[in-house]
C-alpha cells in the first residue's frame, strides 16, 4: 500500500519529466530534467526499502540491523546524486541561455535551413 504511494509518485514524476524533456525548447527540457531528477532520487532511495522514524543514526543499545534502521547506503547515494544533478542543472541552464542569445532562438534543434550541409551558423 505505502509502497504503491511511493512507486506511483516515482512513476508520475518520471512521466512528467520525460514528456517535458521531449519538448522543443531548451527551458522546458531543463524543467523536465529537474522532474526526472526528483523521480530518480526517490527511486534510488526506494531501493533501500521504506522505513518510518528510523533514521540511520546509530543509537547505543540498538542492534545494527535493517530491522531497526533505514538503509543508509541508498541515502548516501542519493546525496551524491542530488549534488551532481544540481551541478548539471546549473550547467544546462547557462548553456541554454547562451545558446538562446547566440543563436537567437531557444529551440533545441537547428532550423531546417542549416540542417545537413551544416553551414556553421554564425552568431547573429
Residues between 92 and 111 with contacts to other proteins, criterion CB under 8 A: 92-103, 106, 108-110
Classify residue 107 by its DSSP letter: B
Q: Does 38 bind other proteins (CB under 8 A)?
A: yes
Q: Which of residues 15-34 bind other proteins (CB under 8 A)?
A: 15-16, 18-31, 33-34
Classify residue 114 by its DSSP letter: G
Q: Which of residues 40-69 bind other proteins (CB under 8 A)?
A: 40-59, 64-67, 69
Number of residues that bind other proteins (CB under 8 A): 109
Cα dihedral 11, 17, 20, 22 sign: negative
Q: Does 122 bind other proteins (CB under 8 A)?
A: yes
Cα dihedral 32, 33, 34, 35 sign: positive
Amino acid at each position: 500500500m505505502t509502497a504503491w504511494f511511493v512507486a506511483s509518485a516515482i512513476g508520475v514524476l518520471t512521466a512528467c519529466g520525460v514528456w517535458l524533456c521531449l519538448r522543443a525548447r531548451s527551458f522546458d527540457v531543463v524543467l523536465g530534467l529537474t522532474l526526472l531528477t526528483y523521480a530518480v532520487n526517490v527511486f534510488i532511495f526506494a531501493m533501500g526499502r521504506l522505513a518510518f522514524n528510523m533514521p540511520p543514526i546509530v543509537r547505543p543499545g540498538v542492534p545494527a540491523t535493517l530491522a531497526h534502521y533505514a538503509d543508509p547506503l541508498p541515502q548516501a547515494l542519493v546525496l551524491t546524486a542530488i549534488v551532481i544533478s544540481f551541478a548539471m542543472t546549473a550547467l544546462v541552464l547557462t548553456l541554454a541561455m547562451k545558446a538562446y542569445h547566440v543563436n537567437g532562438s531557444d529551440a533545441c534543434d537547428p532550423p531546417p535551413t542549416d540542417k545537413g550541409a551544416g553551414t556553421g551558423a554564425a552568431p547573429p
